[in-house]
Amino acid sequence: MEEIRFSEHSQLKIEILANHGITIKPEFIIETVRSPDKLEPGEEDKQIAQRRLDENRVLRVVYREFNAFILIITLYPGRRSRYEKD
């Protein structure tokens, strides 16, 4: 299984979200990338993995695959009503 690395920005986002009362464990982020509920292509060879966070929100993780590892670029919660339209 490929190694998953967190960018400095994604680590900062985890802290910022925690300061706003949204605690997201790194294990949940990794699981979102490895087994997403939904996967979308992003810009510039990036992928967006999505997984249900709670009743009203999803977690969206933007990442890029390289030969040796996967780099998590950023992550953000979003409203299920916005991202689960299909």
Instruction: Please report, for the domain that includes residue 15, its CATH number.
Output: 3.30.2310.20
CA separation for the pair 74, 13 (Å, rounded): 7
* 84 domain residue, yes or no: no
DSSP 8-state symbol, 9: H
Range of 8's domain? 3-78
Long-range contacts of 16-24 (CB under 8 A, 24+ apart): 17/77, 22/77, 24/53, 24/59, 24/75, 24/77
Q: Is residue 40 part of a domain?
A: yes
Is 23 domain-assigned? yes
Inside any domain, residue 56: yes
Q: What is the pLDDT along the chain (86 residues), one digit of tens a residue?
A: 789 999 999 999 999 999 999 999 999 999 999 999 999 999 999 999 999 999 999 999 999 999 999 999 999 999 999 998 75
**pTM for the predicted model, two decimal places:** 0.93
Is 83 part of any domain?
A: no
Count of structural domains within the chain: 1
- As a whole number of angstroms, the distance between CA 18 and CA 55 comes to 18
Rounded to whole angstroms, how far apart are CA atoms 47 and 65? Answer: 8
Asked if the structure places residue 26 within a domain, the reply is yes
